[in-house]
Amino acid sequence: MLDNKQAKLEEIMKLWLEYQQGRKVEIREKLIEYYLSLVKLVASRIAISLPQYVDKDDLISNGFFGLLDAIEKYDPMRGIKFETYAVVRIRGSMLDAIRAQDWVPTSIRQKAKQYEQTVSKLENQLGRAATDNEIAEALSISVNELYVLLNQLNASTIMPLDEFIKTETSSAHLTNPSEQIEIEEVKQALAKTIDKLPEKERLVVSLYYYEGLTLKEISLILKLSEARISQLHTKSIFRLRGALSRIKSSFI
């Protein structure tokens, strides 16, 4: 098994070297075939939070262009794994298409903005994560109505942190030292903010964004329904959005 894996790694490195030297179409086709599973993986993760009417095949089609772009621009000599480099561009390609469609209703955007501002203000006053009861009271709704609202807002949390930390711009491409410092400070602040999340929300964020698990897989681990995991994910994202908005405003 180990020998087989090593042979595949050597084979793909050989393909990369050949492609870098001649940019031959047939070599590029082999690279596309080898990495196509990345597109399907990213599409599956993004599709979790999308409305059912959004076609997963459309995501895959848009992600394919991101894969092509990654293959064209990737430099194996930089020491960055292609998978890491490509996933960012594949995801970005899918998200650009989603944003272009503008499928999130205006009413949901307004509710999301109100919820985010309310939670941010409340937690800034409390100096800690607000409870469901406290958030519901601040919004003048019941806790049950809060849960209904969270379900509605789920669709507005697609790649929620992407607006704050542009993963497309890796530190390797930054030329401005102050910009490099700012991004590092935001990343450190984000880590501290995640540590302060309520336990279950912190676990969901860790398992989803750092371990790469789906919400369904997380629901099995935490022994909670997938709907409940989705609620925890949505709540954690709005907490992080509010915290990061305050952090980034301090740089202005």
Instruction: Find the domain containing 176 and state its range.
Output: 106-249
* Same domain? 14 vs 128: no
Which of 57, 86, 101 lies at the terminal end of a domain, its last residue? 101
* Same domain? 89 vs 115: no
**pLDDT tens-digit series, residues 33-45:** 999 988 988 888 7
* Same domain? 134 vs 208: yes
* Same domain? 161 vs 42: no
Spatial neighbors of 207 by CB under 8 A, at least 6 apart, are 213, 217, 218, 221
Count of domains for the chain: 2
* Same domain? 149 vs 244: yes
Which of 84, 101, 118 lies at the terminal end of a domain, its last residue? 101
* Same domain? 67 vs 128: no
Choose the most confident range, by mean pLDDT, from 79-83, 104-108, 173-177.
79-83
With cut-offs at 50, 70 and 90, classify the pLDDT of residue 224. very high
Q: What is the pLDDT of residue 49?
A: 63
* Same domain? 63 vs 181: no
**pLDDT tens-digit series, residues 164-217:** 444 433 444 444 555 556 566 666 777 778 888 999 999 988 888 777 777 788
* Same domain? 87 vs 209: no
* Same domain? 214 vs 120: yes
Which of 101, 126, 146 lies at the terminal end of a domain, its last residue? 101
Q: Which of 60-64, 124-128, 247-251 has the lowest mean pLDDT?
A: 247-251
Q: Which of 47-51, 146-150, 241-245 has the lowest mean pLDDT?
A: 47-51
> What backbone torsions phi and psi does residue 177 show, to the nearest 5 degrees?
-60, -40
